A and B are shown apart, each in its own frame.
Chain A
Amino acid sequence: MTRLRTEPNISDGDGFYQELLELHQGRAKEESDAINARLILLLANHIGDREVLREAMRAAADAGL
């Protein structure tokens, strides 16, 4: 049974996406990469559930194939 929520769950998705881009606006790649890594860690801690995190990691890796 999958526990990772894969149905849309963010209200105003376009607004969120814009904020995400704005976060990186005008930053060097190195800086952006560091922010992304910190973001992953903060979100992972918020989720906490190891199974959900494992599924998210798998889904992220598989989607690029």
Chain B
Amino acid sequence: MRIFETPLYPYERSPDQDAPNPACHPVVVVGAGPAGLVAAIDLARRDIPVVLLDENDRVSYGSRAICFAKRALEILDRLGCGDEITGHGVTWSRGKVFFRDRRIYGFDLLAEEGHRRPAFINLQQYRLEELLLRRLRDLQSEGRPVELRGGSQVTKVEPATDSVLLTVETPEGPYRLEAEWVVACDGAGSTVRRELGLEFAGRVFEDNFLIADVTMKADFPTERWFWFDPPFNRGQSALLHRQPEGLWRIDLQLGPGVDREEEQRPENVVPRLRQMLGDDVEFELEWISVYTFQCARIDRFRHGRVLFAGDAAHQVSPFGARGANSGLQDVDNLVWKLERVLRGRSPDSLLDSYDAERVPAADENILNSTRSTDFITPKSETSRLFRDAVLNLAETQPMARPLVNSGRLSLPHVYLDSPLQSPDVDGLPARTRPGSPAVDAPLGDGWLLARLGDRFQLLALGSCAAETGYAGVPAGIRRKAPASGSSAALGIDVADEPGLEVISLPAGRHPLLDERYLGGAPGALYLLRPDQHVAARFTDYDPERTAAALRRASAQETDDP
């Protein structure tokens, strides 16, 4: 039996089903796809009790999302499963582009040196989910407070003043749950979204795509091949991409108004694939599906105590691998904020910044994937004229190649206009400006990102390293007593903000660290958020200014120094 047909977390009766009143949980995550699993893992690691509800009991059916970008892998590193997941993936950098019956050019993405993780890996979504499940089980066996309930479908969502009431349907009938916070990761057809009556506005694309996973014996190179208007799929496009375990992803554009059932029949798929792969290639079909997509999002990702993440919040075209990757970045952004609010360390307005930061990120993804879609599937005669002009030129003119758009690499969004960031200072490199995710760099035998934790911390470099006096709590950075108590259901004492950890590194020892964080400056002090994004940076150390940046980054105060 294939992994995605195997029940991995079958329904079991929960004591909550026999409780006289709905049991109350600090956080309920709805949906155990990549975003939901990562949310539950991150919450559990932070010792925030979490219940993860999923309507079925197994990983994603078929490969679905197959491309995971560097930022997603770095998030998985932070969660303690980056090595295992990256190790299962296929790393690639080369590709070829075909137009009609010709190969027009090949490319090599030549990833930048000095990063622990590659620009991206290919890995079946079901394998990612399986490995995330394993991580979740490990956390459970360490005694972390996470519960996964399979066969548990949320059917009703009723927001109350300080909580949300959920009705959960199970094989043994429905029960009710109370959640202080709900994280809705229940996918493009989100029940939670429908229950709240939220409009999912955007652009629907008419084209159908046939997606097939095939196992091949052939020794195809580990490259991404993209065809525009190929002989075996006239007027449409096709994609061939390698996955681990001898598996290949094939995407065939079918156009609008096709008979989906008919197109999925092996007797119709196989001849097409044979034409694509050549007569002498032996292959077997593992999975076939026909899909359409839309580029859409809900207006706000926070609706009171319900927070939407991943496809439930936004949907993009598959070109450019922005679905699962952005879902992981959503929860990376959300979970530390939820933790602070639940522990009473920040007011719940901190969660408004989730919306302020991730909505523009979704818009950026929608823009990029819409552009790719418009290139791949021209919507007018003129649009096709220019598309074909680009492709014809690309064969001999390098100037046209950057215009060929069969999906752009998914890069993390920079939270430039976030209310949590402090204004930038002059003289430091642009790529590590406030709002950026921390850029990795080799530190002798280790990596910068591996040194960073998942709390607020200071990275003191060069001359600033000496000024802050190395490890320990710099004067002036302890925050004031918390304003409100913690969540009662959490049973956690109100704790003072732990002192900021300071990572001090001298200049001149790690050239790429200096290049990425100092530029030519003698010293720099970076305030990093728990999601390893830069909140503020300075070229000298001023305790009051640093403390103000920390207060702003945690939504505690907005006063300027």
Interface on A for B, CB 8 Å cutoff? 33-34, 37-38, 40-42, 45
Contacts and interface: CB of A to CB of B under 8 A. Distances in A.
Interface stretch (B27-35, B141-149, B392-400): B392-400
B385 A41 contact: no
Contacts of A45: 399-400
B399 A38 contact: no
Contacts, number: 26
Contact of B403 (A33, A34, A41): A41
Q: Give the interface size class of chain B.
A: 10 to 19
A38 B392 CA distance: 8
B61 interface: no
A41 B400 contact: yes
26 contacts: A33-B385, A34-B385, A34-B388, A34-B389, A34-B392, A37-B385, A37-B386, A37-B388, A37-B389, A38-B389, A38-B392, A38-B393, A40-B386, A40-B389, A41-B386, A41-B389, A41-B390, A41-B393, A41-B399, A41-B400, A41-B403, A42-B393, A42-B397, A42-B399, A45-B399, A45-B400
Contacts of A38: 389, 392-393
Interface in B376-396: 385-386, 388-390, 392-393
Contacts of B400: 41, 45
Main secondary structure of the interface of A (DSSP, over half): helix
Contacts of A42: 393, 397, 399
A64 B270 CA distance: 51
A42 B389 CA distance: 10
> Which 5 pairs across A and B sit closest by C-beta, in order of nearness?
A37-B389, A45-B399, A38-B389, A37-B385, A37-B386
Contacts of B386: 37, 40-41
Contacts of A34: 385, 388-389, 392
Contacts of B399: 41-42, 45
A9 to B, nearest CB: 22
A33 B385 CA distance: 8
Contacts of B397: 42
B265 to A, nearest CB: 36
Nearest to B390: A41
A34 B384 CA distance: 10
A11 B374 CA distance: 39
Nearest to B394: A41
A44 to B, nearest CB: 9
A41 B390 CA distance: 7
B230 to A, nearest CB: 19
A42 B394 CA distance: 11
A45 B400 CA distance: 8
A33 B392 CA distance: 13
A41 B402 CA distance: 12
A54 B146 CA distance: 54
B405 to A, nearest CB: 14
B223 to A, nearest CB: 26
A40 B385 CA distance: 12
Interface in B175-229: none
Given A34-B385, A41-B399, A45-B399, 18 more contacts: A33-B385, A34-B389, A34-B392, A37-B385, A37-B388, A37-B389, A38-B389, A38-B392, A38-B393, A40-B386, A41-B386, A41-B389, A41-B390, A41-B393, A41-B403, A42-B397, A42-B399, A45-B400
Contacts of B388: 34, 37
Contacts of A33: 385
B281 to A, nearest CB: 34
A16 to B, nearest CB: 21
Contacts of A40: 386, 389
A41 B398 CA distance: 12
A24 to B, nearest CB: 15
Contacts of B390: 41
Nearest to A37: B389
Nearest to B397: A42
B397 to A, nearest CB: 7
A42 B398 CA distance: 11
A11 B390 CA distance: 29
A65 B393 CA distance: 31
A40 to B, nearest CB: 8
Contacts of B385: 33-34, 37
Interface in B391-447: 392-393, 397, 399-400, 403
A30 to B, nearest CB: 9
B392 to A, nearest CB: 6
